[in-house]
A = this chain, B = another copy of it.
Amino acid sequence: MTDFQRPSGRATSDLRTVRLTRHYTKHAEGSVLVEFGDTRVLCTASIEEKVPGFLKGKGQGWMTAEYGMLPRSTHTRMDREAAKGKQSGRTQEIQRLIGRALRAAFDLEAFGERTLHLDCDVLQADGGTRTAAITGAMVAAYDAFSVLLGRGLITKIPVKSFVAAISVGVYRGVPVLDLDYLEDSDCDTDMNVVMTDAGHFVEVQGTAEGAAFDRATLNSLLDIADKGIKELLSLQKQTLGLTK
């Protein structure tokens, strides 16, 4: 294993360069461009003054997410889902994941009968779009709630805990953090982890792409995920000016 090397030259538990750019577009209440290396996802948070039918009159809010990829965000052009007339199973799976992660971060009963729509659109894909989306959407949602706070519609940001997400995987036999496209398309195990700033899991989704993996490997992967997520949570708070 001495000559193991990641395509990017990163150490096994190194994140790519991560950037969170707030106010990336002007209309949305929250708008964040998140970059994990060459992966770029635009996360917007939009406030709607009503809730879906199943929540009407219950005095609580809702958060939901949608995910999309621009047709040429990828190496070869993908068909546009709007043109095909349906979203793929992968798209639906990812947007359900983002929604669950963000609903774990905020107190749905603390911002009235409103819906927060999180739109995560991939401008450029290079692996890890779903984890970048969750990490960026957290900041966009926070910004959107700040707008509500500024308008006097809520009395405090209804955050329960910050969440961030990262992928980990077994690349050429070695557990590594934050897989880029080259690693992702050639790994044995791929795991996406969503954690809170209390160090607890919101989601753990591990899949053996090639060989099944054992308990020891699972533990190694969770260890480096924990390290990476702590760094992302720190960056989120710093970007929002909550820490220095």
Residues of A within 8 A of B (CB): 25-28, 31, 38, 40, 42, 44, 46, 48, 66, 68, 70-77, 80-83, 85-87, 89-93, 95-96, 100, 104, 117, 119, 121, 123-125, 161, 191, 195-196, 198-208, 211-215, 218, 222
Name the distance in Å between A25's Cβ and chain B's nearest Cβ: 5
Name the distance in Å between A32's Cβ and chain B's nearest Cβ: 12
Is the CB–CB distance between B73 and A25 below 8 Å? Answer: yes
Alpha-carbon gap, A91 to B38, bound state (A): 29
Top 5 nearest A-B pairs (CB, nearest first) are A200-B212, A89-B92, A81-B82, A44-B72, A46-B77
Known: A27-B73, A81-B82. A206 touches B201 (CB 8 A): yes
Residue of B nearest to A203 (CB): B207
From B68, B73, B125, contact of A80 by CB (8 A): B68
